[in-house]
A and B are shown apart, each in its own frame.
Chain A
Amino acid sequence: LPADFDWRDHGAVTGVKNQGSCGSCWSFSTTGALEGANFLATEKLVSLSEQQLVDCDHECDPEEPGSCDSGCNGGLMNSAFEYTLKAGGLMREEDYPYTGTDRGACKFDKSKIAASVANFSVVTLDEDQIAANLVKNGPLAIAINAVFMQTYVGGVSCPYICSRRLDHGVLLVGYGSAGYSAVRMKEKPYWIIKNSWGESWGDGGYYKICRGRNICGVDSMVSTVAAVQTSS
């Protein structure tokens, strides 16, 4: 595994987006992973539609009635991949733009699918496996506890204590080997995470969190997706 790796350097990551006042983080994590996978499959970076997921994806957890993807009221990346698999794919952002509300009807147009899911899987908690899947399969949809993110401005976050109760969906795009940790007075490896709160938040819209201890649950829910090549 390379010591440092960042899919942004390979053109597989679209610009930072903004979910606005809507609990739709799950849809941005899903599109980010599929944008990366589609780039690997087609060598074309296409921005995909979160609004399609917000409006049309009501996939439920088969074993837990009522636990369904629900637009601005929340969802889950794995369920969103399931929906995308069944629907045939996602449209382009420009064909189905984001509005940040979930009051609209579903406007999915099957003839305008820009990327499709071939399959998706869950990566184990092992950080080397997560890094290997990241390098091999593209950016990964992950979940994290966002408690420190409300006040985060920059640097590598490495809190002494942090809840592992997952409440936010984001995109793992890379990792670095040397973020300095003052309290530990040494360089620490860190994950590079793309968030969906706009570029003015955090480190240009990104969040860096140190690796090694499943801090804030960052290793707990990691999904990788493979795309098929579609022509639209």
Chain B
Amino acid sequence: AEDPLIKQVVDGAEGEALTDHHHFSIFKRKFGKSYASQEEHDHRFKVFRANLRRARRHQKLDPSAVHGVTQFSDLTPSEFRRTYLGLRSKLRLPKDATQAPILPTDS
């Protein structure tokens, strides 16, 4: 379960906070992120830390993929859904949509 990318250099919660700070600095530099105020910065850091924990949970739930920091790591799940998705999930066929014909799959 030890994430090979994160080397624990000090013990305990303080060490983890230090590591998350380090990750957040790399994240801001890589994705060109900047925040209008210290307050906003602190809020985004808190969201970022929560998303690091989510990434670790996703990694456990989805071990054949690689989960980690993406450009969306400073967004809450609802901000992410509201801003970067956009599907109106109405499973209803418009008038002109027909059912695709069944195709042969055995040859």
Once the chains bind, are A157 and B86 in contact (CB under 8 Å)? no
> A180 on the interface (CB 8 Å rule)?
yes
> Chain B nearest CB: distance from A71 CB in Å?
9
Once the chains bind, are A151 and B64 in contact (CB under 8 Å)? no
For A114-150 the 0/1 string (1 means CB < 8 A from B) is 0000011111100011011100110000010011101
Once the chains bind, are A22 and B97 in contact (CB under 8 Å)? no
- Total chain B interface residues with beta-carbon distance under 8 A: 45
Taken together as a complex, chains A and B put the C-alpha atoms of A75 and B90 apart, in Å, by: 9
Once the chains bind, are A61 and B92 in contact (CB under 8 Å)? yes
Once the chains bind, are A62 and B87 in contact (CB under 8 Å)? no
Interface majority SS (helix, strand, loop, mixed), chain B: loop
> A232 on the interface (CB 8 Å rule)?
no
Once the chains bind, are B86 and A133 in contact (CB under 8 Å)? no
> A179 on the interface (CB 8 Å rule)?
yes
Once the chains bind, are A151 and B97 in contact (CB under 8 Å)? no
Once the chains bind, are A69 and B91 in contact (CB under 8 Å)? no
> A175 on the interface (CB 8 Å rule)?
no
> B61 on the interface (CB 8 Å rule)?
yes
CB < 8 Å: which of B51, B55, B64, B94 contacts A62? Answer: B94
Taken together as a complex, chains A and B put the C-alpha atoms of A146 and B80 apart, in Å, by: 10
Once the chains bind, are B88 and A74 in contact (CB under 8 Å)? yes
> Chain B nearest CB: distance from A98 CB in Å?
14
Instruction: Chain B residues near A119: list those with CB within 8 A.
Output: 96, 98
> Chain B nearest CB: distance from A85 CB in Å?
6
Instruction: Chain B residues near A165: list those with CB within 8 A.
Output: 89
> A23 on the interface (CB 8 Å rule)?
yes
> B38 on the interface (CB 8 Å rule)?
no
For B72-88 the 0/1 string (1 means CB < 8 A from A) is 11010100111111111
CB < 8 Å: which of B66, B77, B99 contacts A155? Answer: B66
Once the chains bind, are A121 and B83 in contact (CB under 8 Å)? no
Q: Which B positions have Cβ atoms within 8 angstroms of A?
A: 51, 54-55, 58, 61-73, 75, 77, 80-105
If A25-B87, A123-B100 are given as contacts, then 11 extra A-B residue pairs at C-beta distance below 8 Å, sorted by A number, are: A63-B92, A85-B96, A129-B100, A137-B100, A146-B81, A153-B69, A157-B64, A167-B87, A180-B64, A184-B64, A221-B89
